Amino acid sequence: MPSTHALTHWDSPFVNFRDFAFPDGQGHGYRWVHMKRFRLSAGAPDDRNLLTALLAHPEFRDTYDGAGVWSEPRHGQWWADRITPDTYLPVDDATATGVIRSWAAAGVGVPADLADRLQEAVYTPIHQATSRYVLGHLPDDAHHDYGPLHVEFHELVLVDRHTGVLTLLVAADD
């Protein structure tokens, strides 16, 4: 089993839709995208073992409720131990991009400056990734004691072996 040493947390860019001006009558819907980027170690293991390392990494234990990383075993609205490498399903570029685009638009579209920011921070890394995974469906009993917290919660893992970066990408609305 790989250790978390396969991944070194690098940074955590955040795109808050509230920071962008939406047209009259349309709102940001309390939507946001939080990325956690990790540098891959030299000779990084295969994707399945990278997913295992991600799940074991302390940065994975984040409820995305503004409280940051916890020592408790929660991830998003789920118990972290209910998420396994097999919970992540491989997807192609178009599917991964489609998940985020359809959620981001939420029937109202996005302002041009937000679209540019999403292109730079989200869609370009999706396109450049050498592999992409989406968090699959988890049963209701996987919700932790105060989940679900979000109206929608979408999660991707992007592995880019060319740049040596793994990105955990969460797109949600509160």
- Domains of the chain by range and CATH? 4-173 (3.40.1000)
Select the more confidently predicted residue: 144 or 86. 86
pLDDT digits (tens, 9 = 90+) for 20-50: 988 766 777 788 999 999 999 988 899 999 9
Confidence of residue 165 (pLDDT cuts 50, 70, 90): very high
Q: Which two tokens stand for residue 90?
A: 């491989």
| Cβ contact 154:137 at 8 Å | no
CA–CA–CA angle 146, 82, 102 (5° rounding): 75
User: How much of the chain, in percent, has pLDDT values that exceed 90?
Assistant: 60
Q: Average pLDDT of the chain?
A: 88
Q: What share of the chain is helix, strand, coil (3-state, %, to 5)?
A: 35, 30, 35
| Cβ contact 41:167 at 8 Å | no
Give the number of other CB atoms < 10 A from CB of residue 99.
19
Q: What is the DSSP string of 126-150?
A: HHH-SEEEEE----GGGB-TT----
Q: What is the model's pLDDT at position 30?
A: 85
Which of 127, 136, 160 lies closest to 10 in space, CA to CA? 160
Q: What is the model's pLDDT at position 153?
A: 86
The arithmetic mean of pLDDT across residues 60-81, rounded, is 77
Select the more confidently predicted residue: 108 or 127. 127
